[in-house]
Structures are given as structure tokens and as C-alpha cells.
Structure 1
Amino acid sequence: MTLTAGRGPLSADPAGWFAPPLPDGAVYAEPHPRRVVAVRAGHPVIDTEDVVMVHRRGHPLSYAFRPEAVGDLPATPAAEAPGYVYVPWDAVDTWFEEGRELVHYPPNPYHRVDCRPADRRLRVSVGGTVLVDTRRTVVVFETALAPVLYVDPAHVRTDVLRRSATTSYCNYKGWATYWSAVIDGIAVDDVAWSYAEPLAESQSIAGFVSFDPARAEVLAELPLSSA
């Protein structure tokens, strides 16, 4: 979703600008030369390399297919890609792109994750208890999103953290585990998250922890561009 999400160029609040400006509602579509397979009831119902990827503001990133590739699946014409159709994501049980199982929506070829060792201070406290205060951090830059600091759990008061039932999935980092802080018997839910087994592009933050500034007092020395 990078081009249309966050502060991407086709989002509602782009970080940069086009000269001359693009018209409102501009859509970007392009050939996506990767094998996409959709499985329903244990059987492939789409298996094609003739795919168009469509970036539309206010919509998840979408695949568009030739009508003959989708069989009897529900489909609607893709106005932005004449001769192609959209298939609802939930019309099948599982999607794959070049053998990788997908969750929520297709991965974006324009999305990049850079994990850089940093000398940026991170100080986090909950209820007056300091959970971390260090400059030994990793700054994670993701396309169109604000940078975020992660820290090795060796620098975190992990004794006050308890794993919560919350999980989430990122197409570029993998499955996240969430952590609640318990201070003097009072729990602050989902104050932090980590990726135990991140995807290849994010391996350098495996097991590292990041904190939610909406749930904890977070002082993070971030690049000025994130303001």
C-alpha cells in the first residue's frame, strides 16, 4: 500500500509533491510480472503471471487479472486496467505470490525497509518506571512511513513486560508479538511490540522491541523528517 498509504505520493497527505500536480484521484497501474496463485477449498482457482498491480488512494493495493484467469470467482471490471478484473481478497482462502503466502493484501514492490544501527536516544517510561534509556538503538525506515526506533531487549526492563494476546502482520516485517507493561500491579496493554522471526529484509531487528508513544511516555530521537 506504499504509494497510497502513510505519506506516499498518492496518499491524502503526501510528503512531497508533483510538478505539475497530479489530478485528484490519480491511479497508478502497471504490469506485475510475478506468479500469483489463489487457492480455495484446497485447489488453485487462479494461477497466472499476467497480472496488473493497481495503486488507488483509499484502497488496499490490488491485483487485476484477465477474466479468463479467474474462472467463476466473483469479479468486477478494473476501470484503471482495461481488459482486467478485480477479485475480492476474501473470495479465496489463501493467496500466494511466487510461493510466498500473503496476508491482508499484496506486498508492494515500491516498499523498502532499511534497518540501520543508530546512536539515537530512546527513553521509555510507564507510570514513572523507566523501561529503557539507551542510545544503542536501530532506526527503521519504511517507505512513506515515519521512522521508528527499536532496541535490543538487553537494554529493556523485560521483567515488567508480559506477552499479550495481540498480534499483527506486516507484509515487510512479518508477525508482531505485543507486550503489556505491569507496574505495581497495574497493566498497560500493548505498550510494545517485537518481531521474533521477521522477514528477510528486517532480520536485523529480530527480537528487538519498539514502543507505542500513545501508551507510554516515549522520548525518541528521530530524524527531523519524521516530524
Structure 2
Amino acid sequence: MSMLPTERAIRTTPEGLFWEPGERWVRGVKGEVTVVDSRHPVLVWEPELPVPQYAFPREEVRTDLLRPAKNPPAGTHTGSQIFYDLDVDGEVVENAAWTFPAADLAGYIAFAWFLRWDRGLDHWYEEEEEIFVHPRDPHKRVDALPSSRHVRVEIDGTLVADTHRPVLLFETALPTRYYIPPEDVRRDLFVPTDHHTACPYKGTAEYWSWRGEADVPPNLLWSYPDPLTAVAAVRGRLAFFNEAVDITVDGERLERPVTPFSEMLGTRPHP
């Protein structure tokens, strides 16, 4: 029996929210206590957030652990109506959960993950895999493909990488990233930093900064030493922010893209 297209279409609410039913078994844990155990989650996109959030039917949430928030924040979520503090064995997490006033989402409770908040649960799982930072977007793809393209990377005119063995990582709404074998990178020109970032699609990255005097942002080189299985091909390889360096692929100099990372890096498009 075929499924009608409208049964999986993203729905909208008058408040400006987008949402759709999810099919994954999702659990959220605080300490040793399972706070959320849901087989009927929904994914919710807010206009001001680039990633989705989960909301769960009340009956699949330990609502006995929720208390009306003592200090609810103002204007944190689109049309948010009620905030809850989470009390697990005497440990209180303020504003850990909330509801949306949208009629379509009545009876659902959303929880903070890790993207913007220092509050939330300790661990989240989709099926048996732990998920970090934020829920994965089902409309986003991340593909890591080995290639034989000729990739050269320069910083202020200095050649810092030259390879015919890159892995190209294609991620929806972001420029292609070129992951280069470490032996094809002038690692002596970079110094490791204590900066780390986490990605629900790729894993945890470590970073290096440029040693030279060029006006470039710190932490412009990174690697995933232990990437998630889906992008295992990038393991141990090194990638540069296209926004901050000059990359030439098969003899064609790429334009520096403008992305959400550009402001963070303090870069501008380069001719």
C-alpha cells in the first residue's frame, strides 16, 4: 500500500513553525533516569534556528519529573508558552523543556539539546545510536566520496597542501569540503589548539591554527580522528575552511564562499 505524499509532508503553523512526524525511537537520559522514551516524536523547525528539534507526546515523557519553571526565559522559542524545570533525584535543570502554543503541537513537549543551551539532558539516542549536538535533519545529506581530483590549498600565497587523493565531503547547504591526507599537508606550518567542535553527522573535530603572519582566523584546519561510520572515509584527514583559504581544484581557483561560518571566522569573499 502506497503512502499518500501529504502524510509525510512538512506542515506549517500560524506561529511560523514547521514540523513533521518522526519515525525514529528517541530516548533522552539524565543521569541514570530515562526522561523521554518516544516512538512517536515530531521534528520541529523554528524560523530562527537552522536545525530541527524534537517534541514528544506527553505520555512518552516523565512529566512527573517536570515542574513549572521558576525563571522562564522570554522570547527563547517561537511562541513558546510554558517552560518546565526538570528535577531528577534533587538535581534541577532550569527551563529544560517547553511547549509550543500551536494547535498542531498541543500535547507535545520539547526538550533542550546542546546547540544553544548549557541545559538539557545528558544523552540522547535515536534507536541504539547516541546523537550529539542536535537532532539530525532528515532532509540533509552528508556524503564522503574518495576522489582523484587535484586539490591545492594556499594561504597568503604559500602552498600548504597539494594532493591527488582527497575525500570530498558534500553536505547539504554547505560548500564542498576537501579532506586531504596528512602527508599531503604542510603540517609544520600549523600548531594544534585545544579547540574542539561536535557534529551529529560527522563526530568530534580537533583543530590547528596557522603559524605564519598572514591575517587568517585561528582554527582554520581540522580533522575528525574518530568520525561516525557514515563518513569514515575522512578519518584522520585534514580539511580547511574554504571561507578563509585559497583552494584550486583541477586548475580552477574556487571563489571563497559566504556561509554561516564566515561571520564566525571574520572572513570576507576573496577575489
Instruction: Give the TM-score normalised by the residue count of structure 1.
Output: 0.76
Q: Given that residues 113 and 141 in structure 1 are in contact (C-alpha distance below 8 angstroms), is that contact kept between their aligned partners in structure 2?
A: yes
Structure 1 residues 54-91: Cα deviation after superposition (integer angstroms, max 9, x where no partner): 23332231111111222133231362434322233334
Determine the structure 1 residue equivalent to 2:99: 76
1:24 CA drift (Å): 9.7
Change over 3 Å in CA distance of 1:24–1:151 after alignment to 2: farther
Determine the structure 1 residue equivalent to 2:195: 166
Q: Given that residues 39 and 94 in structure 1 are in contact (C-alpha distance below 8 angstroms), is that contact kept between their aligned partners in structure 2?
A: yes
Distance 2:120 2:154 in 1: 45
Gaps of 5+ in 1: 1-9, 11-21
Change over 3 Å in CA distance of 1:120–1:33 after alignment to 2: same
Tell me which moved more, 146-155 or 90-99. Answer: 90-99
Change over 3 Å in CA distance of 1:202–1:24 after alignment to 2: farther
Q: RMSD of aligned C-alpha atoms?
A: 3.2
Q: Given that residues 62 and 106 in structure 1 are in contact (C-alpha distance below 8 angstroms), is that contact kept between their aligned partners in structure 2?
A: yes
Distance 1:27 1:133 in 2: 45
Change over 3 Å in CA distance of 1:127–1:218 after alignment to 2: same
1:177 CA drift (Å): 0.8
Structure 1 residues 141-196: Cα deviation after superposition (integer angstroms, max 9, x where no partner): 11222212121112111222222111111111111111123248x99631201111
Q: Given that residues 246 and 254 in structure 2 are in contact (C-alpha distance below 8 angstroms), is that contact kept between their aligned partners in structure 1?
A: no
Among all aligned residue pairs of Structure 1 and Structure 2, give the percentage whose two residues are the same amino acid: 32
Confirm whether residue 153 of structure 1 aligns to residue 182 of structure 2. Answer: yes
Q: Given that residues 55 and 108 in structure 2 are in contact (C-alpha distance below 8 angstroms), is that contact kept between their aligned partners in structure 1?
A: yes
Counterparts of residues 31-180 of structure 1 (less than 5 Å)? 31-59=21-49, 60-70=51-61, 71=63, 72-73=65-66, 74=84, 75-77=98-100, 79=102, 80-89=104-113, 90-180=119-209
Distance 1:39 1:24 in 2: 32
Gaps of 5+ in 2: 1-9, 67-83, 85-97, 114-118, 259-271
Which protein, 1 or 2, shows the higher relative CO under an 8 Å CA cutoff with sep ≥ 6?
A: 1
Determine the structure 2 residue equivalent to 1:182: 211
Distance 1:121 1:130 in 2: 13
Distance 2:154 2:124 in 1: 41
Distance 2:29 2:37 in 1: 9
